[in-house]
Structure 1
Amino acid sequence: MGGSSSVESLLHQTDLPYSAQIMAVLLPPKFKVPQIDMYDRSKDPVDHLENFKAQTTFHGFQGEIACQAFPLTLKWTITGWFGTLKPKSIDNFEELAKQFLTQFMPSRRQRCPAAYVLTVKQKEDENLKTHLALFNKERLTTNEQDEKITLAALLEGVWLCSPFMEELARRTSSTLREFMDKADDFVSVEDTLQALLDPCKEDTKFEQKNKQADKKGKPSRRERAREGRSDRNLRLVHNNLSVQEEERERETRHPIKMGSRYCKYHQRGSH
């Protein structure tokens, strides 16, 4: 008893929260789910929502289609929240986005104030291209991107002894666009010089390796002395062997006679 009522309650829980107006709109025949990373609570919900909006705007989806497609970008661990929404409570995509942000607001990444970019400074051993890449990365973590603050941070962040500072000293950039144009030209020159210097560096490294190899190939004084001693020892052994062989040949040519008047010194039978 009560089994049918339990099943009916489960069926009601699985009802979509869309109004009749949204459900009346059919998906296009060639509809594809937006190609974005599925949300799993580990990232900023605002970033996920902005990526989804950019995809739907690019493909020209209507608000009703965006409502129906949005749950498909959530992982199964998050779709439980979507099932808790009341049936027919969502009339447009703005309402769905509001419910989404309200639920996952604790997962939002805390952003830095706009003045944080003033702390980004170019290091002594850091070229302008690397510095600008790091600056743009840190700039994206701020709450707002004020052009005046960004320009001031870029002008103050350049290393004082940098060659690019000479370009800025000739004519100070009054707008962010003007600064970026100067920086882009300077980076292009740096890349060209680097491309020209790389082959020279490779040749220098190759010559150094050859010199090291030559030094390793030449024997040291101790090694030469050791080789000289070994050569002398080999000559002595060879000479001793030669003397022994000559004595054996002499004995074979003049066999020793055991007579009473035989002289070993003159090797004959009489004096």
Structure 2
Amino acid sequence: MDLVEHVSHFSQRMTVHSKDKTLMCKVFPSSLEPVAMRWFDGLRANSIGSSKELTRTFGSHFITCTRVLRPIDSLLSLSMQEGETLKTYSDRYWKMFNEIDGDFDDVVINTFKAGLLTEHGLRKSLTGKLVTSVRQLMDRIDKYKRVEEDQQLGEGKAKVIP
């Protein structure tokens, strides 16, 4: 687990009690998983004086668990491989997308489209009828994935209307 996400999630759940720093320290261990709980149990009695010090010490110990965000240009390196299904390509793409911080809808749309094989029907559809949001892109991808899955199952020759 990413330590920044963990502390943020804990703080968010405890918002109504954020003024009670003693309570924050006492409840914090209940949010920990086994490895972190062993660390916490190993702390010397009275070695932590505040909730701020607790989160700082926690962060120092689990610094290697911090997720490093990728730059937006990481998406440029992704492309659909010959013989790869749309589902596999889009799964790889969205996994990388989720590791990028920021709001770059136009870049996301263009890099996904550019990564598709030139002859792929979805690429042709995205070129002919533009999408303007990531949500629209995901909807269009889902339509084409369903067609691809139907064709793989031999359940007919469905056709997507762009």
Q: TM-score, normalised by structure 2?
A: 0.70
The aligned runs of 1:14-29 (5 Å cut-off) are none
Greater relative contact order (Cα 8 A, min sep 6): structure 1 or 2? 2
What does residue 53 of structure 1 align with? 10
| In 1: Cα distance, 2:121 partner to 2:147 partner | 11
Q: Counterpart of 2:104? A: 146
Q: Tell me, which stretches of 5 or more residues in structure 2 are unaligned?
A: 157-162
Q: Give the residue type in structure 2 aligned to 1:75.
A: M
The 2-side partners of 1:106 and 1:192 are apart by: 43
Match of 2:128 in 1: 170
Alignment size in residue pairs: 149
Letter in 2 for 1:83: R
Task: Give 1:123 deviation, angstroms.
Answer: 1.1
Percentage of identical aligned residues:
19
Distance 2:117 2:45 in 1: 55
- Cross-structure match for 1:79: 40
Task: Select which of 127, 137, 142 maps to 1:184.
Answer: 142
Q: Does the CA-based 8 Å contact 1:45-1:108 persist in structure 2? A: yes
Distance in 2 separating the partners of 1:151 and 1:97: 38
Q: Which has the larger radius of gyration?
A: 1
Instruction: Give the C-alpha shift of residue 157 in structure 1.
Output: 1.4
Distance 1:108 1:100 in 2: 12
Separation in 2, partners of 1:68, 1:145: 37
Match of 2:77 among 115, 119, 123: 119
Contact 1:124-1:159 at 8 Å conserved across structures: yes
Question: Deviation of residue 172 (structure 1)?
Answer: 1.8
Q: CA 1:115–1:81 in structure 2 vs 1: closer, same or farther (change >3 Å)?
A: farther
Question: RMSD between aligned alpha carbons?
Answer: 3.2
Separation of aligned partners in 2, 1:85 and 1:196? 67
| Counterpart AA for 1:116 | S
- Mapping for residues 234-245 of structure 1, pairs under 5 Å: none
Q: Which runs of 5+ in 1 are unaligned?
A: 1-42, 199-271
Could you tell me which residue of structure 1 aligns to residue 159 of structure 2? none
Shift in Å, 1:66: 4.5
Q: 1:134 aligns with which of 92, 107, 111?
A: 92
Moved more, 159-168 or 106-115: 106-115
Calculate the TM-score normalised by the size of structure 1.
0.45
CA drift of 1:162 comes to 1.1
Instruction: Identify the residue that residue 62 of structure 1 maps to in structure 2.
Output: 17
- How many angstroms does 1:60 deviate by? 8.2
Distance in structure 2 (CA, Å) of the matches to 1:190 and 1:97: 48
